[in-house]
Structure 1
Amino acid sequence: MNQIKRVLGLVWIALAVATAYYCIDIFGGKLTSGKQEDLVFGIIIFFILLPLVVLGLGTFGYYSLMGDYDEKND
């Protein structure tokens, strides 16, 4: 079970990278569209939601990969 948790740590890190790429690729056009409502939406995505999601997924994956969630038999 501990090995599965470590492999899933890699999955979480890959998901964080994929999320960052997707948000930058798809929502990047919102910052340069010239419309005010797109600019506000793009700023919220880029500066508030994107760091929260990517850092949360990456941190969870890192801790899982390092074995912090392993079951310890005492």
Structure 2
Amino acid sequence: MNALKKYLGVVWILLAVAVAYYSIGIFGSKLTSGKQDDLVFGIIIFFILLPLIVTGLAIFGYYALTNEYDD
């Protein structure tokens, strides 16, 4: 079971990196589109939601790798 937790920890960290990469690619263009609706949506996603999601996935993966969930 511990091996599965460590494997899934790596999966969560890789998922955090993938979400960050693709979200920057997708929502980064919203910031430069010139439309006000896209700009507001891009700012909310890019500066508020994206850091929360990526940080949450990365911390969850880190805890799984360091056996914090053994208790």
Q: Report the structure number with the largest CA radius of gyration.
A: 1
CA contact (8 A) 1:10 1:65 kept: yes
For residues 1-74 of structure 1, what are the structure 2 equivalents within 5 Å?
A: 1-70=1-70
State the 4+ residue runs in structure 1 displaced beyond 6 angstroms.
none
TM-score using structure 2 length: 0.96
Aligned to 1:38, the other structure's residue is in SS state helix
Give unmatched runs, 5+ long, in structure 1: none
The alpha-carbon deviation at position 2 of structure 1 amounts to 0.8
Could you tell me the TM-score, scaled by structure 1's length? 0.92
Q: Measure the CA separation in 2 of the matches of 1:9 and 1:67.
A: 10
Which ranges of structure 2 fall in alignment gaps of 5 or more residues?
none
> How much identity, in percent, do the aligned residues show?
72
Root-mean-square deviation over aligned CA pairs: 0.8
